[in-house]
Amino acid sequence: MTPADQIDRIADGKLQAFTGTINLTTGVYLDDVYAQNKSVAEHTAADYHGRFLIELVQNANDVHERGQHNGQIEVLLVEDEGDCGTLYVANFGKPFTHDNVVALSRIGMSTKPPGESIGNKGLGFRSVSHVCDAPEIYSQAPDASAVATFEGFCFTFARPEDLSSRIDHPTVLAFAQSDLPMFFLPIALGTQPAIVAEFAARGFSSVIRLPLRDWDSLQTARDEVEALDDDSAPLLLFLDRLEKLDAKVRNRAGETSSAFTLKRHEEPIASAPVAASIVTLSGAHWLLVRDHAPEELMQRAVDDGVKAKQLHSSWKD
């Protein structure tokens, strides 16, 4: 099946599962689990207020190969696109897979194992709901080369007004429009805006496109792009899969009003008695020291954390 066909099949299965929670004879829920999930998702997204862009950058770091240090990210805020501007975050990491699409549409789920990368709860992406109602994801096919568009999983998520084309039963539709979580139902995207196609032509693996909700969201996006360049909290210090992050803001006159590049280079200190290196970040130097915890000690700490309900049970794996 094509990626679009796979997305449609995922959506059909999720709608079938949702319909199964409703007694169609009486028109009441057998279990309002989706309404509960919507509430949990909204509360969780609120915990990430003010850092949605950092979450997207960390996600982009995580999709680059572990052990490699040449990853690249590009952040582009286009204030003259759409009603209130559009934000793009693109990377050269691994493209989206079927499992990634499924995980992104389920709260608290992720295909990243604990300890493998910075985030593993599948929750950080939901922070984009602070500024955007319909995030779009465009991803390249794994075997694509020198193509002008993204040919992999390209999708957004259904909004309440989109559901009538997928749900015929009026009771199911009413419940769905009221209670389905924001990122519940993936919808394949058939067209690609010009800037998205430009990212594809330049060889990027994936790009997140966020049409901004209102003028307050545009100002939030401006502030978060600017905050990436905060020397007092160097963003790339621990994002060791990255080599470079480019950021640019294009104002409503179509001119570049702000642009900067963050660079990271790490040089091991061969004579150090522990794993130490000098990390150079756009001219500033940092001493970074790493050490390993004994496996038995780490396993004991994980077990204790799971027993105390401080860690998710997936950490035991």
Give tens-digit pLDDT for 11-38: 999 999 999 999 999 999 998 888 877 7
For the chain, domains (ranges, CATH) are 3-264 (3.30.565.10), 269-317 (no CATH)
pLDDT at 117: 45
Give tens-digit pLDDT for 88-145: 999 999 999 999 999 888 865 444 554 554 444 456 788 898 899 999 999 999 887 7
Long-range (24+ apart) CB contacts under 8 A made by 131-134 are 131/52, 131/87, 131/210, 131/212, 131/213, 131/217, 131/220, 131/221, 132/87, 132/210, 132/211, 132/212, 132/213, 132/217, 133/159, 133/182, 133/211, 133/213, 134/159, 134/211
Residue 268 has pLDDT above 90, yes or no: yes
What's the one-letter identity of residue 271? S
Tokens of 36: 């509960």
C-alpha distances in Å from residue 160, one per residue of 84, 130, 163, 262, 266: 21, 17, 6, 39, 47
Neighbours of 184 (CB within 10 A): 22
Spatial separation of the C-alpha atoms in residues 63 and 71, rounded to whole Å: 9
Judged by DSSP in three states, 212 sits in coil
Phi, psi (5° rounding) for residue 14? -70, -40
pLDDT at 302: 94
The mean pLDDT value of the chain amounts to 89
Residue 288 has pLDDT above 70, yes or no: yes
Tokens of 168: 């015929």
CA atoms within 13 A on the CB side of 284: 13
Helices (H), 202-278: 215-227
Residue 3 has pLDDT above 70, yes or no: yes
- Kindly report the pTM of this predicted structure: 0.88
How distant is the alpha carbon of residue 60 from its chain centre? Answer: 7
Give tens-digit pLDDT for 64-84: 998 889 999 999 999 999 999
pLDDT band of 299, cuts 50, 70, 90: very high
More confident: 113 or 47 = 47
Helix (H) or strand (E) holding 118: none
